[in-house]
Amino acid sequence: MQTPIASAAVQTIVKARVFYGSREETIIFTIGATVDQCDRLAVTTFGIVTNPHTFGLFREDGVTELLPTTATIARIEGQAPPPAGSVGIRENEKLILRTSTVRGGA
C-alpha cells in the first residue's frame, strides 16, 4: 500500500496593503500577472479616472517603483530574491499608489 505524500499548496495570489492618499485597501494580485495589470487593478480599486496611465505602484519607501511594467509578479518569502524577470511582492507588503514621473506623471 502506498502512503500519500503531502505537497505544499501552490500559491496563486499575493495580498498587498495598497495606500493612496489617506486610504488603504487590501488588493489581491494574481501571481504571474504583469506589473502593468497590477497597476491598473490598483487604479480601478481606488476609482482613479484622471490620467490613470500615469499611476504606478511603489514600495513602502515611496521611491522604488515596481518596474519594468512588463515583468510578472512573484510571491516572495523572507529575503529571497524574486525569480529572474519578475518583481517580488511579500504577503501583506505595504505598497503606495502614486503618479510616476517615468510615465509622465507629476
Please report the pLDDT score of residue 103 as a whole number. Answer: 66
Domains of the chain, each with CATH number or no CATH: 13-103 (3.10.20.90)
> Which grid coordinates belong to 75?
510571491
Model pTM? Answer: 0.85
Kindly write down the DSSP assignment for every residue of 18-63, as one continuous string. Answer: EEETTEEEEEEEETT-BHHHHHHHHHHHTT--SSGGGEEEEETTSS
Peptide bond before 68: cis, by omega within 30 degrees of 0? yes
pLDDT tens digits, residue range 11-46?
Answer: 799 999 999 999 999 999 999 999 999 999 999 999
Separation of alpha carbons 34 and 18, rounded Å = 17
Chain length of the chain: 106
